[in-house]
Every structure is written in structure tokens, then in C-alpha cells.
Amino acid sequence: MSTGTSELSAHAAGVDITGLRKSYGSNEVLKGIDLNVAPGEVVCLIGPSGSGKSTLLRCVNLLEQPNGGTIMVGGFNVTDPEVNLDKMRQQVGMVFQQFNLFPHLTVLENCTISPIKVLKRKKAEAQKVALRNLERVGLGDFGDRYPDQLSGGQQQRVAIARALSMEPTLMLFDEPTSALDPETVGEVLSIMKNLAQAGMTMLVVTHEMAFAKEVADRVFFMDGGVVVEEGKAVDVIGNPQQPRTQDFLRRVLDPTHVDI
């Protein structure tokens, strides 16, 4: 679990979600979610597909517009119509299922384009930060390569370095290993584990139960747009109390089991 006490923790942004609702037409995907992430904490969201996990994550930085409730990220009320969205998003890094790298840019250029254009950094400064983060994800010598010259796991590690190069205080991960070959999943999870140990605040949607149990401080199990169970990772995954959580974990952890 995350026990990092580095300089990251001192400047981390927490998340406070109260009564979050999101609908698409008559389909209510989030039904009044209450959730918080303390600065420096790692929280994992688990649950079946369609339970609202990714939608919740996307609401945190307004990639999806909530229909109700409040979201606080650091000192920003994300759901306030007057919020300075650009300033808020500078605190928040997000890594998606797909890598979304610019194919015509090198690895280094992918990691510097936003700091230069959004943060108005000098090119040399942006490159220095980007190279440091590429080293951090084990790709320090890959700066001049293009995305199509990389494996899926390497591309996702570049995506993490790109997010880190904006120097966020909160990282959102939306099933970052779901598009990867099984052999490359571990290298991405290792990077995320290192970030957690360094004190980065993280909100992670994942199906990797071993990762969640080892790295997360708390786990929220979602189903049908509500939080069914939450608590310490070792308790929710190792000894779930709710029947729906028990059923889900039995199917995930023992996928060959069939009820007759």
C-alpha cells in the first residue's frame, strides 16, 4: 500500500465527491456517489463493466459533465460553472485505456507539447522535465523514437511520462492495462506502484485485483451506478462483506468456476 512520504505528498491534491449523479438520457449511470481520496492516498475502483467507474473518473476532470453533486479537487470546485478549468486540469494527469500518443511526434515531443503550449514552458525546460519522467518509466533512451516503434506497454509508459510531465498533483488511471498484452501488464503496474510509493495521489479504475490489494489504501466496489462496498483494500478484496462483492470477486479471482 502507498506509504510514500516524499515531497509529492506535501503538494498533493485530494478529491472529495458528494452526491455525484450522471445520466445519459433516461439511463442514470451514477446514482449519488460519495467518495473521497486523501492527499497522497491511492484509491482503486473495481466492479463489472458498465458499473460507472470510468464515468466517475471522467467526471473528476470534466471530460463528462455531471448532472448533480459536487466534486472538489484540491482547492477547486470542479462542478462550479465559474471554475478555472485550465488551472484545475494542470493539477490532474490522466492515463486512458488507449495510449492516445501523437503518431507523427517523437516520444520526447509527445511529452513536451503540452508543457510548452499549456504551461508556456521554454523548450529546454520542458525537455529536461520530460527526460526525467521518461527515465522514471524506464524509457530514458527512447526520446527520439516514434510511437509505432514501441510495444503497447512502452507506449502506455510514455503516456504515463507524458502525464507526469505536466507535474500534476493527482493522477487518474482508467484501466491502463486493459489494452495491453499480458506480458507487458506488469511493467505498467510496476510504474504505478512506484508512483504510489512516492506519495502520488491516485484514483485508479482497474481489473487487476492483485495490484489493488497490494498498492491501494482503499478500494470501492461499484455496481449499477452505486458504491456497494468500500474499505481497506485487504478487507474488500480479501474478505468482502456484501454478497454482490463476493460474487464479483469469486468470478474475477476464479474465472473457471461455474455454478451448476
* 185-239 confidence digits (pLDDT tens): 999 999 999 999 999 999 999 999 999 999 999 999 999 999 999 999 999 999 9
Angle at Cα 58 formed by Cα 54 and Cα 59, nearest 5°? 115
Which helix or strand (DSSP H or E) is residue 253 part of?
Answer: helix 243-253
Q: Is the predicted pLDDT of residue 176 greater than 90, yes or no?
A: yes
State the Cα–Cα distance between residues 44 and 202, nearest whole angstrom.
Answer: 8
pLDDT of 240 strictly over 80: yes
pLDDT for the residue numbered 112: 97
Find out whether 72 and 58 touch, Cβ atoms under 8 Å: no
Kindly indicate the confidence band of residue 79, based on its pLDDT and cuts at 50, 70 and 90: very high
User: What is the helix (H) or strand (E) element at residue 192, kind and residue range?
Assistant: helix 182-197
Report the chain's mean pLDDT, rounded to a whole number. 91
Report how far Cα 2 is from the mean position of its chain's Cα atoms.
Answer: 15
Q: 123-136 and 107-117 are packed helices; what angle lies between their axes, rounded to 10 degrees? A: 130
The predicted model scores a pTM of 0.92
Instruction: Name all domains of the chain by residue range, CATH numbers in brackets.
Output: 31-101+169-253 (3.40.50.300)
